[in-house]
Each structure stands twice: as C-alpha cells, then as structure tokens.
Structure 1
C-alpha cells in the first residue's frame, strides 16, 4: 500500500477522495477481504501470516470503532468493502482497475469488473455530503492502519535479518555504506578509502509540500498506535486486553480527527514539522547510523577507540526561507524560523549534555582528570562562580561530571543570550566536549569517552546549533526588477515593496549568520537561472543591502536550472559564471567547491518525464 494514500486523500475534494477511496479499496481487498468473508479470505491470501493477522486485527478494531460512532457508517464501510470483493472475485489477486483508469483512478474499461466498480463509486456519490466525508475519513484512517501493518512487518523482517547476520564478516549486508567502504579499501587501500570517507556528505532538504500536509495530531496518534502494535507480541492476559483498549481509544480519536488542520499553517508553524521529525527520529537515530558503521568496520574496538565514521549527515530546509512564489515567506518570517530552530536545538543539546554529565560519576582518585580538563574547570570557575559552585556541590570529587554540568548551564545561557557565559558557536562547545573526551580516554575510561560523549559530539557535528541549514530561494526575475528599481531610485529612495523585501531578506541572512552562525544561512538559490548575470545580480544585491562591507553575509549562490532549455544551456552559463570576480572570490573561500542545482519538476512539465530525464543526465555529465 502506498505510504501517501491518506495524505493524498486529505488534499482532494470529497467527490475526488470518494473515487480515490474506491480505487484504493479495490487494491486493498485483494489482500484483506471484508466483513463475513474476512476470515476465509484472509486465510487464502498469500501474504505473510504476521502481516495478515495485523491487517485482520485493525479491520476488526476499525469496524468496532465505526459501530460505536455510527452503525450506519459501519454498515456502509462493510458494504463498500464487500462490493469491492465482488469486483475482484472473478480475478483474485489482480485489479482490472489498474489497467484502464481515469485521472481519479476510476476504471474506464467496459467490462463486468468496471461496471461493478462504478456501482461502488455511485454508492458513495449517492450519500449526503456529511456521510461522504465520514466514509472518506473512515477509509483514510484504515489506510493509515494498513500502512502501519506493512511497516511493522517490514521492521520485524529487518530485525530478523539483522539477528541472522554474522558479525564475523567485514561487511554488514544490511548497510550499503560498509559494502561501499570495503570496496574502496580493496581498490584504494585503507588510507585512500578513509580520505574519501572523510569527504562524504548527505544533505537532505525538507520542504513544506502541500501533498504531505498531515497534521502533527494525526502523526502522534499513528505513532502511538504503531508503538502499541509493536509491543503486542510480548503481552498476554490483562496486559493484552489493556493494549487493545488503548488501540481502540487511539483509532476512535483518529477517525474523529480531521486529517488536515482546520486552518492553514503559517511558515513559522510549518517549521514544527521539521522539529517533530528531528525529535522523534533524526537526533537519536543519526548517531546510531554512525555507530553501526563503526561496529562493523572496527569490530570489538568500536566504542573504545576514536570513531572512523565521520558526521556526514547535514540536513537543510526550505521552510521559512523559500520565497519563490510564496508571499507568506518574508524576511521577518525567516528570522523567526531561524530563532525557532536555534532555540530548540540548543535546548536539546543542553538536555543531552546534562544527562551525560549526571552519569559521568567517575571519582577523581581512580579516574584522574587531565591537566587540560582541570584547566577547563578553572576557566569555568573564572567565568561563573555560580555555575561551578552548583556543579561542585552535586559532583564533589567527580570533575568530569562537574565540567559537563557547567557546559549544560552554558548552553542554557546561550539560548537566553547571557553574553558572559554563553557559547558563541557550536565549535566552541565542541572544543569543550573534546577536552572531556580526551581526559576520559587518558584516564582509561574509553567507553565513556567514545560512547556517550562521542554520541553528543556526532550530534553537534551533524546539527550544530542551527539544526538545519536554511536555504533561501528567489526567482531571477525578482532580482532583476529589484536591481532596476534600486538603480533608478537609489537604495534609500522610494522603492517598490518587493524591492524592500529583497533587501530585507539579505539583511535577515546577515543577521542570522551573526547570531546563529554562517552554516545556518549561507545557501541562496536562484530559480530559473538563465545567465551568469543572474548570479552576478544576487551578489550585487547582497552588497547594496548593507552600508558596511563587513556586514555583508557570506553566500553560496546556487544556480537552479529547471526548464529544458536551461538544462541544455547550463554548461555555458556555468563557464560564464566562473569568470565573475565575485564567484572567483567565493571559490577561494570554499576550497574551489561550488554547488549547482538541477530541477526535474519544470523540465518534466516542459518536455515530459523521459525527455527531462535525458536532459538531466546530459547536464550532470
């Protein structure tokens, strides 16, 4: 089942969603059956027993919830499923609707299956609007549950495969990174492979896409149901009964909850999506990925020696910074989103640092601190007698613990902008962490040094204080118009509102860099780049926006080639771009590295996906 079925439904009109419901149910019933026929059909379906059992469980719970909600809705739910079984009865395991469908997914073939399918659509169309909405919501929630069953089964299979993997081999069969690394070792030797490994970077970018408009409230319910499903195999007796009661409670709430927010989120509120993903996966999972690589490559030494895996994961975001065609994203919004990311990230690190510190209960007599650590402690005493007195009271004769607790207090001061005690950059915090790590390693506490302390080091190296790197984007035409306006009226003249907004955007980038670090806002993307002049325009606007040269932010100006003709001419544009003095100056600062973006969306619209893919391939070559 497609993971985005429910999201797609939530963004369609009720009639469109109703037709889509019928189309997806048509595929679904091949695998799970319906009402009176459920148990018999499920027994016949050639899918793994665990997956089949979970689907049957969720079907039973969904029906119970719908019966309690409205018996008529429950009856309609069963009728639609049963009707779809009739549609598929003549050809079980396949879906004739897949062969000839209209743009809403409704079969167009003139055959018995298509006729029966149309009857299902007509049934839904005959319902009053409020009933249609509830039916769509019922199936939307059921699709979420069906997807959960599949995800649960996939995770179980991965764990089973993991349990059967031999750690005697050098390569982790479930981790392509180790496979690639050992191939490099064979081709280039250990030194050459490690040199390439250190250059590895993975930079996924989050966007606020309208077809992914699933509410946080819905996400939370799905996550809780997923956790309940995962713990079921370990339960029995009253615990299992209680587990099912909680499932019914969450499914009932899911059915009654609107799948999309009742008001459109602001760009600042959209940033919460990234924060939710960060809290529930990225912050804790990314160090586990690094550790997994070390476990297979370093073997028993992993966690007791300096790590081999670099922090190669550095996420970006267009939320709150992509203003191409979105008037709601302003300079003010970008500043607010940056502050939101920064505050959340630093407080997250404070909590992690404090947790690690509390557990570093190594007594100084048996785990002697290094001279470097003692010097760090003395520096902390000079900086804040209050912080150190509190830490010393809690951690007498436990210097590593005391130092980490003061570091946590300094992180809190960083959020509150207390100049005397705050960290002025993530690198400054990293320096202190490495002092603690080296001291622990020197006194023999290598598992603490390269275990929990290394974990937070990886987290800081991956996310810094910024959490995500904001990427600013604007259309090349907007820049050209803004420059024309400034040249005609002067930077302090009577300028158009859009020109003012362009200037304010560059000033916001400068402010973000000064306050939160250059990594948070250094990428500036030009939509519809058609010439080197479009790149020169951005650098000129950045300089015109500031009275003093030292205030101009450092920018990596990224041309985005999207349309077919732009892809075909991009190499010539890049050749011309490299002749610009401002570009040469920036290349000298970036070790001759430059970023270019190729777009597939507009090129596909221009020339179709096949031609666009060929153009993208040629452009990359």
Structure 2
C-alpha cells in the first residue's frame, strides 16, 4: 500500500472511529476493536479453537450491539473502497506525468503507437474505424445490494477525499473539508443501508439514468478527443473520418425475462424518459455553449450559411425573433443557439405530452401502443419548429461549426461545440438503445394461442421442430395479417403482442434506434427466432412491401433479432441452427436490412451454472469459432454480444484481458457486453474511472483486431491443444454435473450452507430470485446462485470441476505428473491468451475463496453425513485445482502472478471474517428459533435477526467487492 493510500485509509478509519463513538458510545468502538484484533490473530495463526472463540464472541453479543458491529465493518469497507479507488486514480495520474509525452499504458494513444511501431498502415486503421463499435449494455440484474441513497453519500465522500488529496490546501480549507467528511460519514451511519421494499422497474431505470446524467454524458467527448489526438500524432497528414465508435444500450425497463413487472407500458415510459433525459442534457449544454460563444459579428465575420439559417428560424419563430433582435443583434451564434433552445423546448414538451397521454390512457384501460396516437400539441408553428430527429439538431450545430472554422475560429470550434456534436452523434434522441428481452417459451405460448384462435393449428406446441419452422416461415412471408386491432387473447398473449406494438410506436415517436434490438433468451431451436420475426411482422416492425406475395415477399425490417444461447447443449448446436436461418430466404431478407449483420448473444452465467467454470469458458470459445465460420460461409457479418456478469462465475474478470482472449476472427473491431449491478457503480459512477475503463476497452479492441503481435497469440487452435482441452473439459463437466445435478444431497447442502433463502428478502431488484416457484437448482437464477457462493466464501462457480479435469490430464496412472503434459500446459499458459485468462480467472476465485470460512458455513448443514460428504468433495476439488495451477504456472502460491489482488485479499480478510462469523451465528439461530410457528412475542426478535443477516450480506458484498 503506497503512502498516500495508507494515509487516506488511516484518516477515514480515524473519522469512522470518531463517528462510532459519537453515535454508539465508546463501548461500540471497543467491541469493534476487540473483534477486529481477534480476527487478525486468527488470520495470523489459524486454529480450530481460535475460530470457535471468535464465533462465540460474536454469538454472545446482544442483537443491538451485533447490528451496530455489522454496520461498523460495512461502513469501513465502503470507506476503504473509496480510498482504494482514489489510489488507483492517483497512480494513473502519476504514471501519466512520468511518461508524458508518451501515452499512458492501455490508453487509446498507446494502442495507436503500438500499431504504428508494428508497421500497420493507415489504410488498415481506416478500415477498422469504419466498423469499430463498442457497446456497453446496462442491465437491471440484481447484483447491486446498496441503496441509491448510500451510493450518493459515498460519491460525496469520494469527492471530499479527492479534495483532501491535494497538498496545497490552506489549513482552513483542509479543516473545513475534513469536517464536511465527518458530516458525510455521520449521515451515512444514520442512513438505512438496505432497501425497505423491492425497487420498482422505473426506480431501476432512474438508477441507470443517474449514471448517464452525472458521469457518462460529460465523459464521452474526452474519449473521442483521445482518439483524434492519437490519430494526428501517430498518423500525421492521413485523412481519417472519426467514427461513432461508442454507443450505449439499456435493459432496465425492457428486460422482461422472468420479470412480470416489466410490461409494455413500462417499456414505453422508459423510452420516453430516456428521450426526456437526453434532450434536457442537450438543453444544459446549449445554455453553456451560449455563454461561451459570445463572438460578435463586429469582431469576426459570420458565414452566409448561418445567416440563411437564422432567416429560416425567424420565419418559424417570429415572436422569439423580435426579442432576439433587441438583445443580441451582433451575436449571431447566440441568436442561433436561442432558436435551437426553443426548438428543443418544444421537442421536450411534445415528448412529455406523449407521456401524459399514456398516463391518462392507463386510467381508462387504453393499450400503451395506441395511447395519444396522432397527438397534436400547441399551435401549428410549434409543431413545425420542434426537432424531428437528432440529425436536425446536428445540422444546426454544424452550421455554427462551419461558420467558426471559416472565420478564424478553428480552435473555438474544437471546444464545447465539438463536444456537443459528439454527444448528439453518440446519444441521439434516445440516449441508449432500449433492448427488449423475453424468454423463447413466452413467444411459443403466445403463438400457440393465436394459431389456435385463427384456425391455423390446434396445438402448435406439440408440433415437431420442422413443422413449427415450416408454419412460421409460411406465415412470416404472408402479407395477410393474423391479429385483430383490438386484442382479446389471454393477458399473457396480449402482453407479448402489445410489447411489439409499443416497440414500433417508440421507434416512430422517440427514435428508430430506441427499440431496435430484441433478445430471445433460452434460444434452443430455429423456430424460436422465426417466432419473433412473425410477431414483429404482425406489429409492423417488419413490413412486407405492397404488391409482394407469399411466394416472392419483399420486406422492410426495423428489428435486430438477437438469439441468446445459454446452455452447454444450445451452444453446441447453435452453429447448425444459424446456418439453417441464414439459408432461409425470409430471414436473410430481414438481415439484408442491416447489411447482413447478425448479432448473437452468448450467456456466460447460465452456461457456467449448467456446466461449470471450465466447460462454460471452453464451450463459449468453441461456439464463437464455429458460429464465425458458419457466418463467413454464408456472407453474414457477425457481431457477438457477451452476456457477462461481475463475478468470475458469470464471465467476469478484467475486461481488457477478456477481450484479448477471444478467438481469432470473432472480434473484428466490435465489442458488445453487459454491465451489471455493482459493476455499473464501480465502472461508471466516477467519470475518471469510467474514462479509464472505456479507454482500456478501446485499447484492447484496437490491438486485438489489428496488432500483428496480439493477433499472433490468438492464432487458430492447433489440433493438439484442442485435443488436450477436450480431455480436460470432458472430465471437468462430468465432475461438476455429478456434484451439482446428480448428487441429490447437494441441493440440501447448498440451501443450508448458504444464505440463498435470505437473499430473496434483500430487495435488490424488481426481478424474482427464481424463474419458477420451486427450489430446484435448475430453477434458480444464475445471479443469486453466484451471490450465495460468494457470501459463504466457497466461490464454487468460479472454479469447481476444473481440478479433476487438469488432474486427469496431468497425472499418469502411477500418480506422478507427466513431464510432457506439464510442458504442454505451460506452453499453453505462456502462449495462448485464452488459456492464460482461464487459469488466471480461476486463480482469482481460488484466492478469494477461503476453506476455513467455507467449512464454518458447512456447519449450518444439519445432516452431518451430507455436510461431510459434500464439503469433503468441494475441499478435495479445491486442492486438486490449486496443485494443478501451481504446477502449470510455476508459482509458489495462488495469485503470486497477481500480487496486488493477493495483497488486497490478505488485508481485507480479517475485516470480512467478523461479518461471516456473525452471519453464520445468526443463520443458525434464526433457522432454529424462527420457523413458521414462531409465537408473536418472539416475532420482533426474529425480525431483528433477519435484519442483521441482511445487513451482513450487504457488508460481505462490500468487503469482497462482488455480489453476482
């Protein structure tokens, strides 16, 4: 730990101690110190007796003191996390000062410098820029356990810590900042840590919009300036068109897979809210631009094009023209901006009128897809003056830019005006693509009802796949509509249909880009994709041109249909499935609308839960190569959408390493990836961190696509390597499924040795924890599955099964490692980015896991035979993988190759442990004393215990810095 970081942690710890005394008395701080020292001593020298003593110390405390202790350790982690983040930024600043004028590592400039040194010509750079696109996708997946109020207080504390970082503060200013910091920590202590109720879908939308308003919107232009500067520096004199290489997407308010609270009405509200948000951000930017562009036509000329544009504005808005002539006669730029502000105001009002109509329609039962259609607001001139598209706003800005550049204002044009033009190009009028996701089974059930009603098929669900495909293809080609205007099917089917109708309406009224993608979860057959094509046709998103016949249809398509492949079986069969679709004329026509580009989403979470860590990674790798080959055969431009989570067990890990580990020929300058829960806060709450994350991602995409050196490490698999991986994979998959799905005692172990039942009460998201009502492992969502294994410190989804796979491949029948195989694996680790990333991510999980704490959680399992059997298998598999990794890497200990993380875990563990001990103690008591038949006089005590358990879950998540 560097000196400034140590000083920050010390200062924050001291302030927290003072607050604990103020708020809970000296006894609270004494107890915290007592437990902390016990925990450190146990970490220094573990003994079963010492562990039992710490457990008893936690169990002896009364519930009020226990609650305060849990909150004290939780607050400590919140503050330490802030200090560490500030430490990372400080390190980046120091590196930049030290390396200047050379670009800092993993920046956009560093990528362009490397390409130049490797001899990559400008023509290749131009080709990359023509297709490069990076798309973070924000989701409402329930992995953020902290309330919005808590996050806002933490952001204020971080701002104050940053201020105190400056050494040139006067004593009075420093004293004032420290006092403000004490106030903020005090307010944080008096703020509820967890939500009292489950958030609504619109609250989740508000949380995501917060990041756009307070961080992302202002940060984006800097990335574009970085790229422009790097191109000028390393490829001087070369003409480049700066592309829109960064776009954002959003699932909140639109992802209805397993979430009954996301309705067509919620999606419509979200789309309009996003438009309102971005237009108001443009308003603020225009206000600042008006202040900045005080240029007078008496000091510098103004272009004739701008004067012509002003004449048109005066004709559209004569009342405003009279006012402007009186106040800014010589300030043409300010006049132009004033007209633009008025046009934006009218556009915002029109969008708001649509929202108001939808609210009114709700009261009388009118569907959201028809509410307020053809709504006319204001006078005719107002309707004519509002902006119909972002291209109109951009054209107005371009008129100002052109005038400045023609009249000695090049440098002026490159400032806030250029930034705003970038923002309009990136965010449009929709802010972010609002991507709808639904389970394939919902579409099949809806179509079964529709087909039965109209007499096309009595029992669609019982048809074979070939019969379903034939029926869907025939109906997709048929211009004849299937559906009535007024829907009278079951509520579930009506909702499916209404969702597509709302998507079309939002494309018309908000922006075509706002609802352009439709993700089909659990895609398992080609008919799942044609089902969505047919439903989109019925809603008018896919339109058959007039005069077309079923035999020769011509279609216009405004919808990307994105299949999501999640299980191991579906990943294996998806190449043949996609080949069938590519060769289906009606589907190929739909792809033609997007220049034959097919987006395919691959799921890391569910494939991991289905087949385990190693199998998931290997099957995803193989599937990407196979799909890429099939797509290339049929002339399809392929883009992968990576459904990753924050934890290793859900595809998490360092983003830049993951990009470099993709199979050759699958990236091609484009990356789309989910950003979930606590990852959104970690990467996007602070604009500087957001910039660093996205510049690293951009660096990795550029290098992985064009760098000869990087591409050499991603060459196609040698047959021998693939064969070895298949051997490892076969054993790993069998080992994982034998424990998780074939051992009937595993379910009981999981339910009792983890807080999975309690997690459902944490109110992290609007979506339920399980897809069904049962407690089968198969019914459980991947996120709470991973979250639970993180809480009990097993981290099982991040490594289990791989140990047996490597052991069988490494060791011969005599129990000795094969020297030849060891060298093979070492070469794979040193030369193959995929394999190195795989092992390093497994190390991250193994390093974070703790067998002593895991064993403590296993004591919650009532049946000793179940406990001993299952934990015994987990422990043995853990040791097998540790031994294999150390043998392959040559390390002395896990995480020796990632010393910063190794040290962070070592320093944090003594502070996380007390929370685990409290959690285990209270889980045991709560389950024993607070069953369904608990008497009323004990209810308050049981509720209090549950509240402390939930706070301990929150605290452990803060301590280990991950949930799911």
TM-score relative to the length of structure 2: 0.55
In 2: Cα distance, 1:429 partner to 1:419 partner? 15
**Aligned in 2, Cα 1:336/1:130: closer, same or farther, shift over 3 Å?**
farther
The aligned runs of 1:518-597 (5 Å cut-off) are: 518-545=512-539, 549=543, 554-597=558-601
Structure 1 counterpart of 2:503: 509
CA contact (8 A) 2:436 2:518 kept: yes
Deviation per CA, 1:465-517, whole angstroms, max 9, x where unpaired? 11111110111111111011011124347412110000110011011101111
Correspondence 1:196 to 2:128: yes
Answer whether contact 2:558 2:593 (CA < 8 A) is retained: no
Contact 2:274 2:431 (C-alpha < 8 Å) held by counterparts: yes
Provide closer, same or farther for how the CA distance between residues 479 and 620 of structure 1 changes in structure 2, counting only shifts above 3 A: same
| Aligned residue number for residue 365 of structure 2 | none
Tell me which residue corresponds to 1:104.
none
Q: Distance in 2 between matches of 1:165 and 1:404?
A: 41
Determine if the alignment matches structure 1 residue 498 to structure 2 residue 430. Answer: no
- Once the 2 structures are TM-superposed, how far is the Cα of residue 546 of structure 1 from its aligned partner? 5.2
Match of 1:66 among 4, 8, 20: 20
Q: Quick check: 1:73–1:131 contact (8 Å CA) kept in 2?
A: yes
Which residue, 47, 54, 74 being the options, matches 1:120?
A: 54
Residue 99 of structure 1: aligned partner: none
Indicate if the aligned counterparts of 2:21 and 2:28 stay in contact, CA closer than 8 A. Answer: yes
Q: Between 525-534 and 485-494, report the one with greater CA deviation.
A: 485-494
- State the SS of the aligned residue for 1:210: coil
- Report how far residue 85 of structure 1 moved: 2.7
State the match for 1:76 in structure 2.
31
Are 2:290 and 2:334, in contact at CA under 8 Å, matched by a contact in 1?
Answer: yes
* Cα 1:553/1:328, change in 2 over 3 Å: farther
For the residues of structure 2 that align with 1:487 and 1:143, how far apart are their CA atoms? 56
Query: 2:228 & 2:181 partners in 1: Cα distance?
Result: 38
Distance 1:394 1:195, change over 3 A: farther
SS at match of 2:337: helix
Instruction: Assess if the C-alpha contact under 8 Å between 2:302 and 2:404 holds in 1.
Output: yes
Change over 3 Å in CA distance of 1:259–1:394 after alignment to 2: farther
Structure 1 distance, partners of 2:289, 2:227, is 23
What value does the CA root-mean-square deviation take over the aligned residues?
A: 2.4
| Residue pairs, 1:296-335, within 5 angstroms | 296-299=230-233, 309-335=242-268
The answer (yes or no) to whether the contact 2:16–2:76 under 8 Å persists in 1 is: yes
1:545–1:198 CA distance, 2 compared to 1 (3 A): closer
Higher relative contact order (CA 8 A, sep 6+): 2
Q: Identify if the C-alpha distance between structure 1 residues 547 and 154 changes in structure 2 by more than 3 Å, giving closer, same or farther.
A: closer
Deviates more, 1:148-157 or 1:323-332: 148-157
Q: Could you tell me which residue of structure 2 aligns to residue 616 of structure 1?
A: 620
Q: Once the 2 structures are TM-superposed, how far is the Cα of residue 192 of structure 1 from its aligned partner?
A: 2.5
- Number of residue pairs aligned between Structure 1 and Structure 2: 550
Quote the residue 1:260 is aligned against.
194
**2:105 partner SS:** coil
- Output the CA distance in 1 between the equivalents of 2:319 and 2:585: 52
Within a 5 Å distance, the mapping from 1:33-112 to structure 2 comes to 47-71=1-25, 72-90=27-45, 111-112=46-47
Q: 1:520 and 1:546, CA in 2 relative to 1: closer, same or farther beyond 3 A?
A: closer
Could you give the per-residue CA deviations for residues 136-161 of structure 1, whole angstroms, max 9, x where no partner exists? 22211110101111111111111111
Which of 407, 413, 418 is the aligned partner of 1:454? 418
For residues 132-531 of structure 1, the aligned pairs below 5 Å read 132-167=66-101, 169=102, 172-185=103-116, 186-232=118-164, 233=166, 234-299=168-233, 309-417=242-350, 418-490=382-454, 491-492=483-484, 494-531=488-525
CA–CA separation in structure 1 for the residues paired with 2:499 and 2:298: 56
| Contact 1:316–1:469 (8 Å) recurs in 2 | yes
- Which is worse superposed, 542-551 or 404-413? 542-551
Does the aligned pair in 2 maintain the 1:350–1:409 contact within 8 Å? no
Distance in 2, matches of 1:583 and 1:253, equals: 57
* Distance change in 2, residues 1:616/1:527 (3 Å): same
1:29 matched to which residue of 2?
none
Structure 2: which 5+ runs fail to align? 351-381, 455-482, 546-555, 626-964
Residue 178 of structure 1 and its aligned partner are, at CA, apart by 2.6
Classify 1:255/1:76 alpha carbon distance in 2 versus 1 (closer, same or farther; 3 Å): same
Contact 2:302–2:407 (Cα < 8 Å) also in 1? yes
Instruction: Return the alpha-carbon distance in structure 1 between the equivalents of residues 600 and 155 of structure 2.
Output: 37
Task: Report how far residue 557 of structure 1 moved.
Answer: 0.4
SS at match of 1:141: helix
* Native 8 Å contact 2:557 2:593 kept in 1: no
In 1, Cα distance between the equivalents of 2:281 and 2:542? Answer: 35
- Shift in CA distance, 385/364, structure 1 to aligned 2, threshold 3 Å: same
For the residue of structure 2 that corresponds to 1:416, the secondary structure is helix
Question: Is the CA contact (8 Å cut-off) linking 1:564 and 1:606 kept in structure 2?
Answer: yes
Change (3 A) 1:256 1:521: same
Moved more, 578-587 or 511-520: 578-587
Q: For 1:178 and 1:366, locate their aligned partners in 2 and report how far apart those are by CA, in whole Å.
A: 37
1:570–1:619 contact (8 Å) kept in structure 2: yes
Structure 1 unmatched runs, 5+ = 1-46, 91-110
| Inter-CA distance 307–274: structure 2 relative to 1 (3 Å threshold) | farther
| C-alpha deviation, 1:131, in angstroms | 3.0
How far off its partner does 1:247 sit? 0.9
Whether the aligned pair in 2 keeps the contact of 1:469 and 1:521 (CA below 8 Å) is: yes
